[in-house]
Amino acid sequence: MPELRCLLVVTAPLFVLAPRPAAAAQWHVTTDGTTAGDGSRGAPWDLATALAHPASVQPGDTIWLHEGSYPVVGELSSILTGTPDAPIVVRAAAGEHVRLDTGSDFANVVAIQGGDTWYWDFEVSSGADDRWAPSWTPDSQIPPARGQSINVYDAPGTKLIGLVVHDTASAIGFWEGAVDAEIYGCLIYFNGFDADDRGHGHGVYTQNLTGTKHLRDNILFGQYSFGIHGYGEGGHLDNFDMEGNISFRNGVVSTISDATTNILIGGAMVAHDPRVSGNATWFEPGEGGIAIDLGYGSVENAIVTDNVAAAATALRVSDVGASMLAGNLGWGLIDGFDPAAFPDNLWYPDAGPAGTTVVLRPDVYDPDRARLAVFNWDAAAEVAVDLAGVLAPGDSFELRDAQDYFGAAVLTGEYDGGELMVPMTPRSVAAIVGAPSTPYVHTSARFGAFVLLRTGTGGGADEGGGSSSDGGVTTATQDGGGDAGGSDGADTTAASTVAASSDEGSGDGAAAGDDAGSGCGCRSEGRRGDAMLSLVVLALWRRRHAGDCGRPDRVHARPQRHVGGARARQRDAAMP
């Protein structure tokens, strides 16, 4: 078998966000805010009042959530409603940690019912002890004493951006009424509970009929059940866009069942026109599981491209349902189709690939953030990752392990250009809150998922004194455990070198000015002007879907508003 030594780099273009009216206002919420407040900094609202859409809040306004823990009691309903061109933004203030605590009652949940509102940069979790359902069947559902997180109901144009959702009874419900809605860049882990039959609770449970649902650039791991669960017995499964997600080791923390599926679209209804592209999925060798499953039921006109999938079953999809299946790299079995009919893929049913495969995806909403998945097939102690185009020389940065996001950074330092040596030795992981659970162990050196944060621009970082990479291009200080060893010498090729041979070429980014926080002292972010879309796998992989990648792949800031229909809570009896 030929040795595979390749670098997969995905850099997404940055786009112009929806313009905001010149008179857009800014409002404030604090843990000691009141219903009697006027939303000013001196007289802030409580959270429930702000989400009830006070008359003073207009499309294009920003509601800043300030530091602290906000209890969610019962159904905390948000009816905030902006417009497609001027969404309302609910966002944690810069540098302030905001947590919504859903506590110890399964009825506690954030229910989003108003449209065209963006929820951004805060945490949702439960600190309850109970992870056991006394009874959980379609006829008798007695849940654990543990709060849920977020359900998005009849809320077109909703965006959940950069949220951290963990240790709830069930993570995000993303239902049919959320037309042209998006979950972007969220970190979702350790959600769910056990019952007599199996582990329950998915990272995202979703159904769709009208418009397109977007799930992009999220990191999901360690749920009690599935990572992304696009499933329905009566709910529809049409027009999903699942791109750039890093989903791994879901199901392994259950004490009743085990490895499940990282990305699923399938059920009793035919799944029409799904697009599953650029995702990175992983289960440890011998752990079982399915990386990507589009064969659980009928699927039509699926586009499955440029995914990296490693599991006992790397990919399951009906060949009659795949209109395009190309550019995928799989380690594990394949099911439901003849690989000879789809030659533009690489499959490794037994021994895995060699070298490294790196997926690097800059954040399209936040220029100071990117997500990274490293497939370290040879289990080297460290892997070279080229960050050119993501960081500029002189930028200070933190590299955080997604499996211990709130712990110590893996690396901090000042970027001098070129490659960063990322240590792959397993480190500490976040603790699962509540019982029962199977202890979660960090992935092996063969796989890692990270969040890269720019912490300053133009130099000035004073972490200093750390170990440098082999080329001396980046000074970094390592944290988080493990002795970093030398690279195995695998040929990892910089994106700037290989991109010239890509069939895609490059896309032109567009600049946008500060979109929030101006004059408030909260958050003000400019957008980078020049960005490139490049997907580099191997020269032999010719991407044959120019019609797909050539589409206007912009931020979906102007979705069509859903018309008609009362609030619908579409889910199955067995949910979650």
- The β-bridge relationship of strands 474-478 and 411-415 is antiparallel
Q: How far apart are CA 204 and CA 182, in angstroms?
A: 12
pLDDT mean values, one per 10 residues, the chain (576 residues): 45 47 85 98 98 98 98 98 98 97 98 98 98 86 96 98 98 97 98 96 97 98 98 94 98 98 95 97 97 93 97 92 94 94 95 96 97 98 94 97 98 94 96 98 98 85 34 50 34 28 31 36 33 30 31 27 28 38
Helix (H) or strand (E) holding 393: none
**How do strand 322-326 and strand 302-305 relate by DSSP bridges?**
parallel
- Tell me if 460 is assigned to some domain: yes
Is residue 495 within 8 Å of residue 534, measured between CB atoms? yes
CB 138 within 8 A of CB 446: no
- Please say whether the beta carbons of 57 and 88 come within 8 A: yes
- The three-state (H, E, C) secondary structure of 21-67, written as one string: CCCCCEEEEEEEEECCCCCCCCCCECHHHHHCCCCCCCCCCEEEECC
Rounded distance between C-alpha atoms, residue 424 and residue 437, angstroms = 26
CA distance 52 to 75: 12
pLDDT of residue 466: 33
| Contact present, 230 and 258 (Cβ < 8 Å) | no
Six-digit token pair at 242?
Answer: 């699942």
* pLDDT for the residue numbered 458: 78
- Both tokens of residue 162? 């950069």
Does residue 348 form part of some domain? no
**C-alpha distances out from residue 559 to 87, 209, 468, 510, 555, Å:** 11, 15, 46, 19, 10
Looking at residue 431, what is its pLDDT? 97
Q: What is the pTM of this model?
A: 0.81
C-alpha 177/C-alpha 568 separation (Å) is 6
Please tell me the distance from the alpha carbon of residue 74 to that of residue 77, in angstroms, as a whole number: 9
Q: Does residue 214 lie within any of the structural domains?
A: no
Is residue 24 within 8 Å of residue 374, measured between CB atoms? no
In this structure, is residue 522 part of a structural domain? yes
Q: Which two tokens stand for residue 48?
A: 């429930």
Is residue 174 helix, strand or coil?
Answer: strand
SS3 467: coil
List, in order, residues 6 or more apart from 22 with CB less than 8 Å away.
Answer: none
Instruction: Please give the structure tokens belonging to residue 191.
Output: 């959600």
Residue 47 phi/psi, 5° resolution?
-65, -45
Query: Which pLDDT belongs to residue 460?
Result: 44
In a domain, 512, yes or no: yes
d(CA 345, CA 328): 5
Can you give the pLDDT at residue 17?
Answer: 52
Q: Is residue 479 part of a domain?
A: yes
For the chain, what is the domain count?
1
Instruction: Give me the domain span that covers residue 497.
Output: 373-544
Q: What is the dihedral of CA 20, 26, 29, 35, to 10 degrees?
A: -100
3-state secondary structure of 428: coil
- Look at the alpha carbons of 392, 394, 399, 405 in this order and tell me if their dihedral is positive or negative: negative
Q: What is the torsional sign of CA 255, 259, 265, 268? A: negative
Residue 455: Cβ-neighbour burial (10 angstroms; 0-12, 13-18, 19+):
middle
Instruction: Assess if residue 521 is contained within a domain.
Output: yes
> Would 399 be classed as within a structural domain?
yes
